Structure formats: C-alpha cells, structure tokens
Chain A
Amino acid sequence: MSNAIIWVIMIPLLGSLISIIWSRYASLIAIISNLVALVASTAVLMRVYQSGPFLHELGGWHAGLGISLRADALSSILLVMSMTVISAATFYASAYFTDAAKRARFWPLWLMLTVALNALLLSGDLFNLYVTLELLGLSAVALTALSDNRAALQAAIRYLSIGLLGSLVFLAGVALVYAGYGTLDLATLASLVQANPLSQVAFGLMTAGLLIKSALFPLHFWLPSAHASAPAPVSAALSALVVKVAVYILLRLWVDVFDLVLTLSSTMLLGILGAIAVIWGSWQALQAQRLKLMAAYSTVAQIGYLFIFLPLIAALPEGALQDAAFTALLLMALTHGFAKSAFFLSAGVIQQYCGHDRIAELGGTARALPLTIFVISLSGVALIGLPPSGSFLGKWYLISSSFQAGQWWWIPVVLVGSVLATAYVFRILGHAFGPGESIGRVLNRGREEIPALILALFATLILGFGSAELWDLVAQHAEAAGN
C-alpha cells in the first residue's frame, strides 16, 4: 500500500467535498472516509515500523517546488492516534447532533479538520506546515462556533484572533529561515542550519507562534472558553489533537532542524512555563464548576507536562536515556490524547442527559449512565497518571530523567500536579456516586458511549501494557536520525 500516505489526506478531503453536496448521507460518508483513513494511517505506521522513515513526493515534483510528505516514527504514531480519536469521535458525532442544520455544517468542517491534521503531521517542509496549521485553525474555529451561542461565538472569535497572530509570527519566522537558507524543506534544512543570530531569531519567532497555538502558560487564556463551549466531539478533537500537533511541530523543528541553535536555558524557560502550567491549570481545574471547563483547564496542565520534558531531553546525553525521555514524552502525549477525548465525549453524553454539565449537580448520574461514569473514571486514572495507564510510565520516566539530569526541581511539580489531578477527578466521581437505587441499563447511548470506552481503554490498558513496541519504534527513529 505505497499510496497509503496519500489516501490519508485525500480520502477525508474527498469526503468533505462530497458531504457538502450530499448532506443527507454526510455522516455515513464521514464514517467511511475516516475509517478508510484510519486503515491507511495504520499502513503508514506499519511501513515505518518495518522499513524506517520514508518520503513521498506528490506528483513527482522534487523538494523546493513540490509538496513532499514525510513519515517517520514520531509522525506516524501521532497520525494513528489522531485517526483513532477522530474515527471514534465521528461515530459519536453521528449520534450527537440532533439539529439538521448544524449537522449539515458540521460534517464538511469536521472532515477538513481531519485533512488538516493528517497533512500537518505528514508535512515535509515549513510552508506546508504553515498552510496546514492555518487550515487546522480555521476549521477548528468554525467548529467551535457551531454551538451557536454567545459564549461559543465569543470564544471562537478570540481563538481566531489569537490563532491568526500566532500564525503570522510563525510565518515571520519562516520568512527569516528562507532569507537565510534559501530552502524550506525540513530534510535539507536539517543539514544547513547553524547557530547564528538569524537562526536564533527565526526559531524564536516560530516557537513563539507555536506556543500560542499550543496554549502554554501564559498564552493559554484562549483555550478554556473555546474548549468548554464547543460541541463535545469538537472539544475532544481540540484538546486531544489540535493543541498536540502544535507541540509536535515544535518538537520536529527542534529535534530535526534547529538542534544546534537550541540552548539549555531556553528549554529551561519552556520547562518552567510548563511547570507553572501544570500547577496553575490543575488548580483552576479544581475550581471549575462545569465538567467541560474543568477538562479544558486539565488540558492546559497536561500540555505543561509535555513542556517539562524539554529541558530534560536537552540536558541528557545522546543515547538510551535521552531516547527514553523522548519516548516518555510521546507516551504522555498519546495517553492524554486518548484520555482527554474519552473524557470530553463522556461529558457530552452527560450534558445531553442532564441538560447541563455542572459538577455539583451530577448526583445520580452513576446510576443512570454507569458506562459513561466508568469511562470518566478510566480517563481520570490516565489524567492523574496512575497505573496501569500510559501516563504512569510517562511520569515514571519524567521523574527518572529528572534524577538522571540532576534537575530534581521538576519532581515536586509532578507531586503537586498529581495530587491536584486526583482532587479534581475524584471530585467528579464523588458527586456522581450519590446514594440511590441500583444501576439501570449499562449501555444507554451505544453509539456515543462505546467510542468513548474504546478511547479510554487505549489510554489506560493498551498504552500501559502494550507500549513496548513504541519504545522500539522510537529507538529506531533515533538511530535513523543519526545525529
């Protein structure tokens, strides 16, 4: 399936266009497109696993003029995660939207979001990254506004303004890179870039733009309202995927292109911001009165964890230790992606059932929606970082790397973050398990609950126990990268 890499992008794109024309069958088209894309993305991952990273030039045009698609360990794993979450959320969404007008507008935008995500992850040059980043931003904003109420629209407008600013700053960085090196292709740049003031400014600008997009403290202020007021499947995709890919781009630029430009102190700054994000985000999550707002702040905190890894990776010597830290970062990103999407989908079910998502008034939901509360418990376990979830392993390596690199100050942050996360997760469960009669039907809204369940299981069991291959894959990538 050598063309799988194209299908991943093309099928959802076609699906999006067809679903505008045939809006009656839109959900069916979407489900089919996303499932095909999921299979294709798995094929890409398998190919990378077996024969290493590969390059695909669209239309035979070479780098410089054409669009090149690159798949390696990092991008293909994130691709599969992204398609899994999207597919699950697609099933969910097919039962979620009751209003026909909203449905008609949702599907094309949703599929464009998928296209943007996949294309971004597979982009091989800076300009593609910019274009797909914009496409992603615009689709995300439109989907956020779909709730069509005051809060959602205000959040969407703010998201758009901030996002646009971030992209322009990023574009300025791209301009400087082109001015300095005459090419935008990532592979070529990897060998050209040197540590000079131009690269530093360019990288600084690109990082600033990406920090806005990934909602790192203190640039996170747009996220809570946007993620909280969007429709549930959109929130799932936003928290789990859209912010993640911004971190992915940052990693990609850093590891592949700008590794010589990077200084330990700049990563330390990012790490400190990440640490503040963990504590601030978790604290705000604890104060939140609504489920979705709580989940949004939790995302701010979890993104912070990812940034704490950066100074550790920079400080550790090349080899097994650094690879372990990098894999742990990836594992935390994956676990959070699955867990947070499962959480948002479940929050959506609760919102539809109760008419609201106020935490204090959740009494009796454990009785009425047992599977949903179970899913929330599982995702909660993954968010806190308890075994057997993947984030437990991630936290293990975070602490371990802190000891190895001599940067022990991150450990109290992990401690406080875990305690706060425990508090806000169990606060929900405490309210949901009120006294009352026994459980009714286990499965209430199958098409909505089962996808959420599958995602949560990924986060907890599959990533927890089955991550051995992940380690192999990343070790391979490190070898292939060679530097």
Chain B
Amino acid sequence: MISTQLLYALAGVGLFAIGLRATLLHHLLLPRLLALNVCGAGVFLIFIAIAYAGIEGMPDPVPHALVLTGIVVAVSATAMALALGRRLENIKSDAIKSEATKSETLKSAAVKPEAMNDE
C-alpha cells in the first residue's frame, strides 16, 4: 500500500505533468493560463504532501507558508495575464473598428460622386 503522503505527492506530480503538457500545447491565452494554474496546483499539492506528519502529528507549517505565498503569486500573475489579455483584445478590436470606419468613409466617398453625377 502506498502511504498517504506518497499518494498525494504523486498526485501533485501528475497534476503538474498534465498542466505542463497543456501549457506546451495550447497557444491561446485562457487555456494556457488554466493549464499553468493546474501546474501550480500540482506543485502546491506536493508541498502539502511534504507537510504531512502523520494522522496524529502537527503538520509542518513551513510548506504551508510556501503554499500560501505560491497561491498569492499565482493569483496575481493570473490577474495580470488576464488584464493584459483584455487590453490586447481591446487594442485589436479598436484596430478592427478603425479599419472598418476607414473603409466606410472610403465607400461613402466613392458613393457621393456617383450621387452627384446622378443629380
């Protein structure tokens, strides 16, 4: 029988591996970000497994501190990534809109002389 600690540690490693594979495969921002978070979850799980000191014992607080800090970092990074992605989307859509208005004005400019000719 695998010990509890080892089981959780292996689970952490497995999560990390799944997350890693997904990070490397996806090119869009959101899937990649989710995958990175899964990676992070994997590493945190490894830490928690390390902190385990038996059914009766006090878990080691140091890895817990590490995990909390890690979560904070991961959340901040995710937030920043989302903000950047949002901003990028805005810039892209602005660019599309200005392209559209440009072609609109061109079209209307092309229409007008014809209208004038009709008159």
Contact = CB atoms under 8 A, between A and B. Distances in A.
Interface of A: 64, 127, 130-131, 134, 137-138, 141-142, 145, 148-150, 153-154, 156-157, 160-161, 164-165, 167-168, 171-172, 174-176, 178-179, 184
A202 to B, nearest CB: 12
A141 B77 CA distance: 10
A176 B49 CA distance: 11
B36 to A, nearest CB: 5
A127 B43 contact: no
B80 A160 contact: yes
B47 A156 contact: no
B50 A156 contact: no
B17 to A, nearest CB: 11
B36 A141 contact: no
Given A138-B76, A157-B85, A161-B81, A178 B95 contact: no
- Looking at A64, A131, A156, A157, the one whose CB has the most chain B CB atoms below 10 A away is A157
Given A150-B88, A160-B80, A165-B36, A131 B69 contact: yes
Contact of B50 (A138, A145, A154, A175): A175
Interface of B: 16, 20, 23, 29, 32-33, 36, 39-40, 43, 46-47, 50, 62-63, 66, 69-70, 73-74, 76-77, 80-81, 84-85, 87-88, 91-92, 95
Nearest to B41: A168
A interface secondary structure, majority: helix
Contacts of B84: 141, 145, 153, 156-157, 160
Q: Which 10 A-B pairs give the minimum distances between C-beta atoms?
A: A153-B88, A134-B73, A179-B50, A175-B46, A168-B39, A172-B43, A171-B43, A157-B84, A164-B36, A160-B81
A171 B70 contact: yes
Contacts, number: 82
Contacts of A145: 84, 87
A45 to B, nearest CB: 30
A167 B80 CA distance: 16
A222 to B, nearest CB: 13
A134 B77 CA distance: 9
8 contacts: A131-B73, A150-B88, A157-B29, A160-B84, A165-B20, A165-B39, A168-B40, A175-B50
Given A141-B80, A164-B36, A164-B81, 15 more contacts: A130-B69, A137-B77, A142-B80, A145-B84, A145-B87, A148-B91, A150-B88, A153-B88, A160-B84, A161-B32, A161-B81, A167-B73, A171-B70, A172-B16, A175-B47
Contacts of B63: 175, 178
A127 to B, nearest CB: 6
A160 B50 CA distance: 28
A127 B85 CA distance: 29
Contacts of A142: 80
A127 B66 contact: yes
A168 B13 CA distance: 12
Nearest to A135: B73
Nearest to B76: A138
Contact of B88 (A137, A157, A168): A157
A197 B70 CA distance: 25
